[in-house]
Chains A and B, each alone.
Chain A
Amino acid sequence: MSNIPYIIEERPDTGLNNSKLGVWIFLASEVMLFGGLFSAYVFLRLAAPEGDFDYWGAKLNVPMATFNTMLLITSSVTMVMSWASLKLNQFDKYKMYLGITILCAIGFLFVKYFEYTGKFHHGVYPSSSTFMGIYFTLTGLHVLHIIGGLVVLIYLWTRQADKMWKENPDLLANRIEVTGLYWHFVDLVWIFLFPILYLL
């Protein structure tokens, strides 16, 4: 509704606009969501016999996951670069950087697809062990978050973005900033997931 204040402009006493505050609160809830699963990981590791998690963890593909880590980190920097380009009025650069972000995300999904199908091919499923269960759940939830983010990123790359840039550039910048915050969070989760699942 256009009569809601502080959608884009900042409220003087809080220094925030609505979407920025909203997305940070949403991210806080996401921290707790993944936190619940991390807590489960710790519990299950303790409940498993000595060496059980090491045995099952060794079946994971570290090089693929490292590559994925680099993909996400790259997508994070291109995400923030696309926002910066928008602030500098460089719409073409915005599209370029956003495009690279999208490609990195799709790449991540492809790698995950190969990882998962590789596991299934060898008869390893979530039910195979508690480690595999929590591995598939944690990375699966993360994948769902990547897909959700990807949908928004693609939307902000289409004609809708061009239209918004012409009619209300500040709104587009705001949407990109907020989407970027979500995207960085998804990267952040992976930064912790990677060593915990693949390396420990």
Chain B
Amino acid sequence: MSSSHHHEETFFQKYIWSVDHKVIGIQYGVTSLLFLLFGFGLMAVMRYQLAYPETVIPIIGQWLFSESGGIMLPENYNTFGAMHGTIMIFLGVVPLAVGAFGNYLVPLQIGAPDMAFPKLNAASYWTYFVGGVVMMASFFTPEGAARSGWTSYPPLSIFESGQTMWLLSMIFLITSSLLGSMNIIVTIVQLRAPGLTWFKLPFFIWTQLVTSFLLVLAFPPLEAAAVLQLMDRIAGTSFFLPSGLVYAGSAVEAYGNGSPLLWQHLFWFLAHPEVYVLILPAIGIVGEILANNTRKPLWGYKSLVYAISFLGFMSFIVWAHHMFLTGMGQTMSAFFQLTTMIISIPSVVVLTAFFISLWGGSIRFNTPMLFALSFLPMFGIGGLTGLPLGVAASDIYLHDTYYVIGHFHYVVAPGTLFALFAGIYYWFPKITGRKLHEGMGKLHFFPSFLAMNGIFMPMFIQGLAGLSRRMYDGGQQYAHASDITHWNEFMTISAFILGLAQIPFILNIFITLSTKKSEDRNPWKSTTIEWSAPSPPLPHVNFESAVEVHRGPYEYSVPEKEEDFYPQTSP
């Protein structure tokens, strides 16, 4: 077998079809950040509509909605809504959290030269890329992009426009995810450096391992369901179409006898573990940054590991809490309510361990730490607001209201996304050899934090008043919403502030990249293995010499030592 680090690599081999996990990680990172920005743009237009219903969208309205004179029509709103969710989750957060952070850091944190299957790794990125292209291309088809919610419930999704491309794209994205997560599991099991036993692994690695198991076992049923829905749309089958349906005034010509519930079960069987896929890498990143910036070990490392493993297992048996209103009997409702309540326990263990980790620490309030610290109360709010949704009785009232939107956005936006920002600030010096500017980082953090709360906190108020989600006019037409629609404008302004707050971040990246590289390969004085590699680590081999691990991942403030950190690889 040829080892390409002995030969001159072409531009294509080095930057396009690279099998180096670091290049692939950056490919995932840049692609997913662009998708996140695009998904944000979709939401910005939606929020404008919600604040000022049926007015002309400024600047881009005439170009976007030329047929309606720049006004967002209901079907446009639905399209933007469905695509916002889909893009943020499947093209944005998961590829960033797993594809970018996972791919870049896992081999480095375990002292390996690369992932177990480098070519497969490249294949998984390009499959994701193709899936992304198909998803974006759907906007430009005559049908337009999907508009049946990211949840794509039949029968609507069988008849609505744009769904076919969505399904095709999902097949590519799911395949990419399966290949990637399999790679991560084998890498962690097989390529740990000598001395790196299981309980010496950084907590981030544990979260990536559990996440990958969730992806491997939970995604395939959705791939199966996507094939079935595709066939319903293009092959005339009726897997999800019950008999006697009438659509747009005429009877549906299909065999019938299908089950819309079947889609919901198959979809949520993935989509629930998916939300833990969204949060676990973030929890891992926060753990790393907390330990580093408190200069003490994470409190309750073993509890954390057992908690997330238990969480991973439980995530497979809670999914029908998304389906409490589908006519389930009491037995199953009670079952899913019980499992959902139980699954909140490991999250509490994680948050508690993180809070206790702060106690007695020498806390450094740098930008990564600010984002990581804010994760704690934000994830706390997100988690707590999930409880009334997990209890079947209260969920009957709150289901499909803005309360749900507030709940999950708190977990994903000021939760996961802040953790990912923290990770970018934290690992930027390892990837590029330069630290991002602290002042601009704080300019990014503080308005973002305020704006996030400004957008999502009022959603609980709106939801409790009974405002339904996915309504293009923000509830203007409903009497029961009249008291709380005024919040829409406040939330929209907060959303625009959030957008503006990202400008220092984007500028920071470009400006910092144009500065000189630093000689300091461990500017945060961290203990984990990736910091012993050069910045950036060497192509294809990462480390200058063989890695040997002699201690745990968080040996900070060890009494006898002069320095307040004792790296894993120090002899």
The reply to whether A and B meet directly (CB within 8 Å) is: yes
Give chain A's interface residues, CB within 8 Å of chain B: 1-6, 11, 14, 16-18, 21-22, 25-26, 28-30, 32-37, 39-40, 43-44, 47-49, 52, 125-130, 133-134, 137, 141, 168
Question: Which residues of the partner chain A approach B178 to less than 8 Å between Cβ atoms?
Answer: 26, 29
Which residue of A is nearest B269, CB measured?
A: A36
> A18-B186, A39-B266 in contact; A133/B237 too (CB < 8 A)?
yes
A21 touches B236 (CB 8 A): no
**Are B221 and A32 in contact, CB atoms less than 8 angstroms apart?**
yes
- Does residue B259 face the partner (Cβ distance < 8 Å to A)? yes
Minimum CB–CB distance from B337 to chain A (whole Å) comes to 22
Closest 5 CB pairs of A and B: A36-B224, A36-B221, A127-B236, A33-B220, A133-B237
- Whether A47 touches B235, Cβ cut-off 8 Å, given contacts A26-B182, A32-B218, A141-B227, is no
Given the contacts A18-B116, A22-B116, A126-B235, A39 and B221 also touching, CB distance less than 8 Å: yes
Known: A1-B114, A18-B117, A126-B236. Is A32-B259 also a contact (CB below 8 A)?
no
Contact check, A48 vs B257: say whether CB atoms are below 8 A apart: yes
Query: SS class of chain A's interface: helix, strand, loop or mixed?
Result: helix
Whether A32 pairs with B258 at a CB distance below 8 angstroms is: no
Chain A residues near B223 (CB-CB < 8 A): 33, 36
**A43 and B236 contact, CB distance less than 8 A:** no
Q: Which residue of A lies closest to B116 (CB)?
A: A18
Q: Does B191 contact A (CB under 8 A)?
A: yes
Interface residues on B, range: 35 or more
Query: Once A and B bind, how many residue pairs between them come within 8 Å at the CB atom?
Result: 148
**Complexed CA–CA distance, A79 and B454 (Å):** 63
**Bound CA span A5–B256, Å:** 54
Interface flags, B188-232, vs A, CB<8A=1, else 0 = 011100000000000000000000000011111111110110010
Contact A39 B265 (CB under 8 A): yes
Docked-complex contact A134 and B3, CB < 8 angstroms: no
Residues of B near any A CB (own CB < 8 A): 1-4, 19, 112-114, 116-118, 178, 182-183, 185-186, 189-191, 216-225, 227-228, 231, 235-239, 242, 254-259, 261-262, 265-266, 269, 540-541
Please state if A25 and B257 are interface contacts (CB–CB under 8 Å).
no
Task: Determine whether the beta carbon of A44 is less than 8 Å from that of B262.
Answer: yes
Given A33-B224, A36-B221, decide whether A130 and B258 contact each other with a Cβ distance below 8 A: yes
> Least Cβ distance of B263 to chain A in Å?
9
A64 to B262, CA, bound (A): 31
Instruction: Find B191's partner among A6, A39, A168 (CB 8 Å cutoff).
Output: A6
> What is the CB-to-nearest-CB distance from B291 to chain A, in angstroms, rounded to a whole number?
26
| Cross-chain contact of A36 among B112, B220, B236, B257 (Cβ < 8 A) | B220
Residues in chain B near residue A127, CB distance under 8 A: 235-238, 254-255
Q: List, in ascending order, chain A residues with CB within 8 A of B217's CB.
A: 28-29, 32
Is B238 a contact of A130 with CB atoms below 8 Å? yes
Residue of B whose beta carbon sits closest to that of A53: B257
**B541 and A25 contacting across the interface, CB-CB below 8 Å:** no
Q: Which residues of B contact A126 (CB under 8 A)?
A: 231, 235-237
Contacts of B239 in A (CB 8 A): 40, 44, 130, 133-134
Chain A hits for B266, CB < 8 A: 36, 39-40
Set of chain B residues within 8 Å of A39, measured between Cβ atoms: 221, 262, 265-266
Contact, CB under 8 Å: A11 / B228: no
In the complex, are the beta carbons of A128 and B117 less than 8 A apart?
A: no
Find the A residue at minimum CB distance from B253.
A127
Decide: A4 and B114 in contact? CB cutoff 8 A.
Answer: yes
CB <8 Å contact, B189 and A29: no
19 contacts between A and B (CB under 8 A): A5-B191, A11-B190, A18-B116, A18-B190, A22-B116, A22-B117, A22-B182, A29-B220, A32-B218, A32-B221, A33-B221, A39-B266, A40-B224, A43-B261, A43-B265, A129-B257, A130-B258, A133-B255, A137-B228
